[in-house]
Amino acid sequence: MLYYLIYPVAWCLGKLPYKVQFLFSDLIRWVLYSVVRYRREVVRTNLRDSFPEKSEKERAEIARRFYKHLADVFIETLSLASVSEKQIRRRMKYLNMDDLMRWTGGRSWISAMAHYGSWEYTTNFDLYKTHDNALAVYRPLSNKGADRFYRKIRSRFGVIPVPMHDVGREMVRRTRSGSHVTLALIADQTPAWPEIQNWTMFLGRWTPFFTGTEKMAVKFRMPVVFLDVRKVRRGYYEAVFDLVYDGDEAVEEGEITRRYAERLERMIRQRPELWMWSHRRWKHDIDNWLAHHPHAGRIADRIHDEQRK
């Protein structure tokens, strides 16, 4: 039922002029920030702990810009229900496709992404047909109507949504068939407590990261390419591909994840308002985890080695 309510509204929204869409975005920003005060305390705490060197006034300004951007992303995501391929190509540009093809030509690769910029826009590189298929890994939503809507808009331009728990089997199947795929992974969320296997220094503190990108890259010898996104102006983005792992290099456990986190932090520090600060990114404590995890000793040794560097 929810799907049939959302989709017509989103389709009509995508047909409106951009200036009109932004009027709705401004209204949503006001509601989120001033009326319902959506996760204001989470945002404030995350910014305070990530940027202790900034003043309270500077962090408050970042927070205000974040809510404005979040509202834009909400409208941009809904508009994907009817936006044209020509419009997407104009609004989301990739600046170094030649480098990407040089790094990944003839083999599958992983696009290491984040909840930064307009992430539903950035997964649409299948428009450029660089490989046989583009797979977008996602966590299924609990509401079936909302989940159907998101799968619909994500697949409009050729991207194939793959549930997180099926990605391993899907990659094995496509590898055996000889397909070369692009695997889009948004890897900056917090793993559930039982899923934590890696901690990396990120924005000044030890932070757990999903390790799926690293495991898939090593297992299938897939290059990992970070997507460095810039917001040119409202509704328009560009991205630069940045090679993280070439698919052949012998790396220590955790190294690919560390490189991803390093690039993500650098991008966030350049335009902090474009990241998803409302996510409870640091809800897990490393000391508590080390005290209870069976592999804590190995992880602790690596952490101590990094601290000595």
The 10s digit of each residue's pLDDT in 157-169 is 888 899 988 988 9
64: pLDDT strictly greater than 80: yes
Dihedral sign, CA of 277, 161, 71, 260? positive
Q: Which of 34-48, 158-172, 193-207, 291-305: highest mean pLDDT?
A: 34-48
Asked whether the predicted pLDDT for residue 276 surpasses 80, the reply is yes
* Long-range CB pairs of 74-77, under 8 A, 24+ apart, other chains included: 74/25, 74/28, 75/13, 75/21, 75/22, 75/24, 75/25, 75/28, 76/118, 76/120, 76/121, 76/235, 77/118, 77/120, 77/153
Can you tell me the distance from the alpha carbon of 121 to that of 201, in angstroms, rounded to the nearest whole number?
28
pLDDT of amino acid 59: 98
The type of residue at 190 is T
CA distances from 77 to 119, 161, 176, 286 (A): 9, 15, 34, 34
Domain that holds residue 69: 2-308
pLDDT > 90 in the chain, percent:
67
Beta strand 159-163 pairing with 199-202: unpaired
Q: What is the pLDDT of residue 1?
A: 74
Which of 274, 238, 229 has the alpha carbon at shortest distance from 65?
274
- Per-residue 3-state assignment (H helix, E strand, C coil) for 113-140: ECCECCHHHHCHHHHHCCCCEEEEEECC
Q: In this predicted model, what pLDDT tens digit does every residue of 218-253 receive, in sequence order?
A: 999 999 999 999 999 999 999 999 999 999 999 999
| Whole-number Å distance between alpha carbons of 26 and 212 | 36
Mean pLDDT of the 291-304 span:
65
Least confident of 37-46, 65-74, 171-180: 171-180
Burial 271-288 (b: 16+ CB within 10 A, else e): bbbbbbbbbebbebebee
- The confidence band for 195, taking pLDDT boundaries of 50, 70 and 90, is confident
Average pLDDT, the chain: 90
Query: Measured between alpha carbons, how far is 252 from 248 in angstroms, rounded to an integer?
Result: 13
The answer to whether residues 189 and 293 touch, using CB atoms and an 8 Å cutoff, is no
Q: Are strands 224-233 and 236-245 parallel, antiparallel or unpaired?
A: antiparallel
| Residue 228 confidence (pLDDT) | 96
Query: By the 8 A CB rule, do 118 and 237 touch?
Result: yes
| pLDDT score for 175 | 83
This prediction has a pTM of: 0.92
pLDDT above 70: residue 309? no
Residues with Cβ < 8 Å from 74, sequence gap 6 or more? 25, 28
DSSP state, residue 194: G
Token code pair at residue 21: 């869409």
pLDDT digit string, tens, across residues 104-114? 977 899 999 99
Long-range contacts of 289-294 (CB under 8 A, 24+ apart): 289/193, 289/196, 289/199, 289/208, 293/196
pLDDT score at 134 = 86
Q: What is the pLDDT of residues 96-148, one digit of tens each?
A: 999 999 999 778 999 999 999 999 898 876 656 666 688 889 888 889 999 99
Domain count, the chain: 1
Please tell me the chain's helix, strand, coil percentages from 3-state DSSP, rounded to the nearest 5: 55, 20, 30
How high is the pLDDT of residue 297?
61
pLDDT surpassing 60 at residue 180: yes
| Gap between the terminal Cα atoms of the chain | 56
